[in-house]
Structure 1
Amino acid sequence: MKILIINGPNLNLLGKREPSIYGSLTFEEFFVSLKKKYAAVELHYFQSNIEGEIIDKLHEVGFTYNGIILNAGAYTHTSIAIGDAIKGIETPVIEVHISNVYSREEFRHISYIAPNAKGIIAGFGLQSYELALESFL
């Protein structure tokens, strides 16, 4: 099974950025532990702060991978283009968020990804990614 985790803008700052919301672990540290725990799964990771690069990656793997776990960050609430890219591929996508976006600012309650996603997981910290991974298994 091949699963790709895609992180969007500012998620490269995990471990440094607002630790009270996002925790103190870097995503790379978390990803190493995830790969060890799920050794039978071929896990890949991609992060970009650039909307077009995220779309390109969705197009690249969207017909060959078994699943995509996507935390598009703020693009979740602004990018019709990422939503359209998900609609155009065959690989199922699960939208994840580290924080509970529905307990935050009003603009974060809108997702252009959700209508085209298999499901949404939010508010469980980095465990949101693991829950998404479990749903594919």
Structure 2
Amino acid sequence: MKVLIIHGPNMNLLGKHSQARLTLDKLNRSIRRFSREQSIQIKIFQTHDEAKVVTLLQRNRNKVDGVIISLGSWHPYAYTLLDTLKLINLPYRVVENKIIAKQYIEKTIFKLKNIIQNEDFEKAYIQGIKQVLNQ
């Protein structure tokens, strides 16, 4: 099984938001550790550019079994991204820190059933991986 992990805008500054001092590097290490334990292959990508995410999804549509993405401020207006996710027809979950992204999730264009909100980002990503692989 292979999962594509996409960290959206400002995730490189995660440590600035996190009360637990979670950095993107620590989050990635946690995701990799879980994936190794479960024999899951992962590909991790971070960008502030929605067009790059669309290209990444299109290029990997036949190479992965699911997608985990953190949208942050893209929630209210990422119509192209949502359309791409529908077109590639892969299971996906949007993972967010419940506190940091609250204002965006309230205005999201994504179905709430596909959004995992948790105060613990690491748990949200792991829960997302489990859900996309069990679909």
Please tell me the TM-score bracket, short chain as reference: 0.7 to 0.9
Secondary structure, aligned partner of 1:88: helix
Counterparts of residues 68-107 of structure 1 (less than 5 Å): 68-100=67-99, 104-105=102-103
Unmatched 5+ residue regions in structure 2?
Answer: none
Secondary structure, aligned partner of 1:91: coil
Secondary structure, aligned partner of 2:75: helix
Correspondence 1:38 to 2:40: no
CA distance in 1, matches of 2:52, 2:13: 18
CA distance in 2, matches of 1:123, 1:11: 16
Residue in structure 1 matched with residue 66 of structure 2 by the alignment: 67
Residue in structure 1 matched with residue 18 of structure 2 by the alignment: 19
CA distance in 2, matches of 1:100, 1:114: 19
Unmatched 5+ residue regions in structure 1?
Answer: none
Correspondence 1:58 to 2:54: no
Secondary structure, aligned partner of 2:30: helix
Residue in structure 1 matched with residue 3 of structure 2 by the alignment: 3
Kindly provide the amino acid, as one letter, of the partner of residue 26 in structure 1.
Answer: T
Q: How large is the Cα RMSD of the aligned pairs?
A: 2.1
CA distance in 1, matches of 2:86, 2:110: 9
* C-alpha distance 43-56 of structure 1, shift in aligned 2 (>3 A): same
Residue in structure 2 matched with residue 124 of structure 1 by the alignment: 119
* C-alpha distance 113-58 of structure 1, shift in aligned 2 (>3 A): farther
Secondary structure, aligned partner of 1:3: strand
Secondary structure, aligned partner of 1:38: helix
**Superposition TM-score, scaled by structure 2 size:** 0.84
Please say if residues 82 and 113 of structure 1, whose CA atoms lie closer than 8 Å, have aligned partners that are also in contact.
no
Please say if residues 63 and 91 of structure 1, whose CA atoms lie closer than 8 Å, have aligned partners that are also in contact.
no
Please say if residues 2 and 65 of structure 2, whose CA atoms lie closer than 8 Å, have aligned partners that are also in contact.
yes
**Superposition TM-score, scaled by structure 1 size:** 0.83
Secondary structure, aligned partner of 2:63: coil
Kindly provide the amino acid, as one letter, of the partner of residue 71 in structure 2.
Answer: A
